[in-house]
Chain A
Amino acid sequence: MKLLSDNLSPKALLHPMRVRAFTLVELMVTMAIFMLLVLAMVGVQVFGFKINSLTTSKLKTTAYSLKALNQIQTQVRGASSVVVGNGGSLASFTSTGTTGTALLITIPTGGNNLLYLSTNTGVLYEIFSANNQQITVASNLTNQVVFQTVDYRGTNISSTGLENFAIRMTLQFFQTNFQVPTNAYEYFTFQTEMTPRTQD
């Protein structure tokens, strides 16, 4: 940086631009420092985006699991009957009694709710017979079997003619977090059981 004197030489007065500007070295050093700062800030931002993506997927799966747990557990506990089977609608539901992608819940006050997994889209839906409304319970699922009928030891059984059983629900989530520079995935398994209280 050039400092101006009160007593400038005649040469300097003739060429004021030469003394007022930054030198090339000053500019280059400043730009280098600025570039380093910008790179550091960009690095922090990119890192933040990645962590944000990682956190979002975890929270999303946690939220889906909680929603599924709260919604399904309450319904199964209060149901007059629960049947495991397959099918993507109330009309096409077929009972297997052992394992399947769908769960038919009969409500004591009347009507049925059907929970089913669409294996094509990996989404767990619920259909209410009262208004034929369909809602999404969980998405990004990869498993093929969601519901199982088990006994008190957790052994897979048939619910046909059985007095005491529990319904096991397994949700396996798989999501892509980010793809740059390498692919990063998120895995999450959620498994629980619920027992209709009408068995007591």
Chain B
Amino acid sequence: MVIRKKQAAKSRAVAAFTLVEVTMAIGILVLVMAGMIYGYVQTNAQAEWSSMSLSVQALTVQSVEQARAAKWDVYSTPTPGTTNEFAVGTNTTVFTSAVLIPSSGTTMNVTNVLQITTVTTIPALRQIRSDCAWTFPNTGATFTNTVITYRGGS
């Protein structure tokens, strides 16, 4: 840069960047880059959470579908509605190594609680509720996926 000496002597601030300006510019650049990196990492973490949540959701649905597959004969004798394979109550199951943690390839256990409750006797109607609790490894936070459905007797 070519500057006349007179002009430079009059105003040094115009002539060149001061150390404070340069430091601030670099500081802003570092902040922007840190923000970009954090954005990338956060996007990846969110994708990881979504994939794990979907995997757990599938297990939650699996439990509900098993309950739906169970026999429930409301016309059984001597007491109608007692012949069934999945009685009213709470069943806790641990799906061992059911979910793969992305990138690492390690597995995670998921605890499922299946609750079957009677809604009405006539007509025969039950509620099936499935809760799967799991921990997100990146943050250590615990989440619960829930599926609730109703089933009529056959």
* Chain A residues packing against B (C-beta within 8 Å): 1-6, 20, 37, 40-41, 44, 47-48, 51-52, 54-55, 58-59, 61-62, 65-66, 69, 73, 150-154, 163-166, 168, 177, 184-195, 199-200
Tell me whether B69 is interfacial, beta carbon within 8 Å: yes
Cβ B66 vs Cβ A153 within 8 A: yes
* Chain B residues packing against A (C-beta within 8 Å): 1-6, 8, 16, 29, 33, 36-37, 40-41, 43-44, 47-48, 50-51, 54-55, 58-59, 61-62, 65-71, 85-86, 98-105, 151-152, 154
Which residues of the partner chain A approach B59 to less than 8 Å between Cβ atoms?
191-192
Cβ A55 vs Cβ B54 within 8 A: no
Which residues of the partner chain B approach A44 to less than 8 Å between Cβ atoms?
33, 36-37
Cβ A193 vs Cβ B71 within 8 A: no
Cβ A200 vs Cβ B1 within 8 A: no
Cβ B44 vs Cβ A65 within 8 A: no
Q: Which of A59, A69, A151, A164 contacts B58 (CB 8 A)?
A: A69
A111 nearest CB across to chain B (Å): 24
Which residues of the partner chain A approach B36 to less than 8 Å between Cβ atoms?
44, 48
Which residues of the partner chain B approach A200 to less than 8 Å between Cβ atoms?
68, 151-152, 154
Cβ B40 vs Cβ A52 within 8 A: yes
Determine the distance from Cα of A54 to Cα of B67 in the docked complex, in whole angstroms.
36
Determine the distance from Cα of A23 to Cα of B67 in the docked complex, in whole angstroms.
82
B62 nearest CB across to chain A (Å): 4
Determine the distance from Cα of A152 to Cα of B67 in the docked complex, in whole angstroms.
6
B61 nearest CB across to chain A (Å): 5
Among residues of B, the one whose C-beta sits closest to the C-beta of A41 is: B33
Q: Which 7 pairs show the lowest CB-CB distances between chains A and B? A: A152-B70, A192-B58, A166-B69, A51-B40, A58-B47, A193-B62, A193-B65
Cβ B69 vs Cβ A195 within 8 A: yes
Among residues of A, the one whose C-beta sits closest to the C-beta of B41 is: A51
Determine the distance from Cα of A188 to Cα of B8 in the docked complex, in whole angstroms.
65
Q: Which of B8, B47, B151 contacts A59 (CB 8 A)?
A: B47
Cβ B103 vs Cβ A186 within 8 A: yes
